[in-house]
Structure 1
Amino acid sequence: MNTLFRPALSLLLLLTSQVSLACLLTIGVVPQFEQRKLLEIWQPIMDQLSQATECRVDLAGSENIPDFEAKFMAGRFDIAYMNPYHAVMAHAAQGYEPFLRSKSNLQGVLVVKDDSPIKDVSELQGQPVAFPSPNALGASLLMRAELKNLHGVDVDARYVNTHPSVYLHVAKGLTVAGGGVQKTFDEQPQVIRDRLRVLYSTRETPSHPLVIHPRLGKEQTQTVIKALTKIASEQPALFDAIPMPGPTATTYRDYQPLEELHLEQFQH
């Protein structure tokens, strides 16, 4: 190559690199699954979002739910998939705005062993009850709030990390009851479901949304929302895996009623 052109080429490569680095979108996902599965689920969506926005799109991992919470509270994600109460926390802390969610609602369920003598939630006063994590909305926060505020019941909460672990704890008699959500209960193997009985169901709330940080600005925000809405419309199977079946547009107005429940009293 002619040496006269080398400085110009170097400058072009530098400018191209700077443009690429200047357009980076970071996605955070509540760690419902292990990191490898999350990447498998989100990679096709991220690839198409990258093409539509001409930005590099990265999945930012979180070790656990508290780590995920710390990151969105600090505004570390441009886009995030989170539970409904997380959306309330993120909106208050950073101004994150929900824009896409499943058309189906979230409902907590409290299960006991199929042969358990317990017939009413009042019998759970002081009893060991398994929950996946302190701030899981339907399974923990909403369930504990309703037990306390509607039924005057305080339980001995045991946190076992995942929904499947909750159902196993109850099925094996390690706790007298456990909190989950209807969807994850329905997804359990038949042999587990046959050993459990739903004792109580919470009110329904809007399901996990995708939220976006206001620092992206109006133009880029609309580009991202339009791109993800288009992908969801044309390839709903990709969003089924998130899981976000039947994606539909949403706003913070759908989640604002959760503010009135004062779930912060049950947060850890």
Structure 2
Amino acid sequence: MTSARSPHRAAAVRTLLGFVVALSLAAHAARAEQPPPEYVLGVFPHLPPRDLEKVFAPMAKDLGARVGRRIALSSNTTYERFSENVDKEKFDIAFMQPFDYVRAADKFGYRPLATRTEKLSALVVVKQDSPLESIADLKGKRIGLPPETAAVSVLLANHLRTHGLKPGVDVTLSHHRSHVSCMQKVMIGEADACGTAAPAVRFFQSKMHVELKVVGRTREIPHTLFAIHPRVPERDREILRQRILSWGETEEGKALLARGELTPFVAVSDADYDVVRELAR
């Protein structure tokens, strides 16, 4: 009788094993579809770490409360390390400069959430009492810049060439860790001018209680933006987008923007950054 029942027993075991495997695969698929327990917001290091924390930690908290999920703030001390982490797809949400965005969008499918109302151009600033008044006056001078890969650095290098000033020949360029450190070099006399951007100038002037003079401005391109990784579910993407866009309309949101001297954010499309793709080629 034992041998007579064994085929039925074996079939039952196979059925049970198949059921267990099916349940395991279903559970794995369900876990794969679920978003992570927290999102990571990466911010490119255009300000010193302490200032980035002051500006973006409250934003991360606000967005997390709205989406119902903790958002951890992450940044890096160098532009290069930030770009490496973008390439490793470590950030679910990223506040990034335009050249990083087009690379992340084209390689990893990042999508734009919102950009600033103002366009991005490189401003050349000097001390208020500097005799320099125009781009032509920069010949033979020392110009400080943020890191070489920063959008401002790319824009200004192109701008200088179009005005007959060859970097390394007619002007001396030096690159620093952030926009703030570049402007600090001007204030202590280690650079004659700094290439930076309007939000950074507003932040620096407010923090240091100084006034800088603008002697040059480059062409405009779409500004820095919040972008999001495609692994974030559509529901959460839309909640985050709408929350960022609302900051300019509420007292609570305006207070968040004021921490970084930021203008409100507006809707944006990937196609808006095609001009940046052209410059990056």
- TM-score, normalising length: structure 1: 0.75
- Aligned in 2, Cα 1:148/1:48: closer, same or farther, shift over 3 Å? same
Distance, in Å, in 2 between the alignment partners of 1:168 and 1:227 is 34
Indicate the RMSD between aligned Cα atoms, in angstroms. 3.1
**Equivalent residues in 2 for 1:72-151 (5 A)?**
72-112=86-126, 121-122=135-136, 124-125=138-139, 127-138=141-152, 140-151=153-164
Equivalent residue, structure 2, for 1:65: 79
Measure how far apart 1:136 and its partner are. 2.3
Which amino acid counterpart does residue 259 of structure 2 have in structure 1?
A: A
Q: Deviations over 1:119-167 (max 9, x none)?
A: 65355456432112212222x1111111124535223221132333323
Identity %: 25
Match of 2:265 in 1: 247
Answer yes or no: is the 8 Å Cα contact 1:121–1:151 preserved in 2: no
1:245 Cα deviation after fit: 1.7
* 1:231-265 alpha-carbon deviations (Å, 9 max, x no partner): 55432321333454222111222222112223x6x
- CA–CA distance in structure 2, aligned partners of residues 246 and 149 of structure 1: 32
Offset, 1:89: 2.4
The C-alpha deviation readout for 1:22-45, integer Å capped at 9, x for no partner, is 432111012233444433433433
1:110, CA displacement in angstroms? Answer: 1.6
Is the Cα–Cα contact under 8 Å of residues 239 and 247 in structure 1 kept in the other structure?
A: no
What is the Cα deviation at residue 215 of structure 1? 1.8
Q: Give the Cα–Cα distance (whole angstroms) in 2 for the partners of residues 231 and 152 of structure 1.
A: 41
Q: Which residue identity lines up with residue 175 of structure 1 in the other structure? A: A
**TM-score, length-scaled by structure 2:** 0.72
Asked if residue 188 in structure 1 is aligned to residue 205 in structure 2, the reply is yes
Structure 2 residue runs without a partner (length 5+): 1-30
Q: Aligned residue for 1:208?
A: 224
Equivalent position amino acid for 1:256 in 2: D
More displaced 10-residue stretch of structure 1: 33-42 or 206-215: 33-42
Deviation of 1:202 after TM superposition, in Å, equals: 0.9
Rate the CA distance shift 1:173–1:47 in 2: closer, same or farther, 3 A: closer
Is contact 2:99-2:276 (8 Å) kept?
yes
Structure 1: runs of 5+ lacking an equivalent: 1-17
Deviation string 1:62-103 (CA, Å, 9 cap, x unpaired) is 222221111112211000111222222222232212211221
Counterpart CA distance in 2 for 1:173 and 1:22 is 48
Matched residues in 1 for 2:201 and 2:145: separation? Answer: 13
Distance 2:100 2:258 in 1: 21
| CA contact 1:121–1:153 (8 Å) conserved in 2 | no
Q: Is contact 1:26–1:77 with CA below 8 Å preserved after alignment?
A: yes
Q: Secondary structure at the match of 1:174?
A: coil
The one-letter code sitting in structure 1 at the alignment partner of 2:196 is: G
In our comparison, the structure showing a higher alpha carbon Rg is 2
- Measured in 1, the distance between the counterparts of 2:132 and 2:50 equals 39
- Name whichever structure is richer in strand by fraction: 1
Q: For 1:56 and 1:116, how far apart are their aligned partners in 2?
A: 47
Matched letter for residue 259 of structure 1: R
Aligned length: 243
Q: Which moved more, 1:123-132 or 1:246-255?
A: 123-132
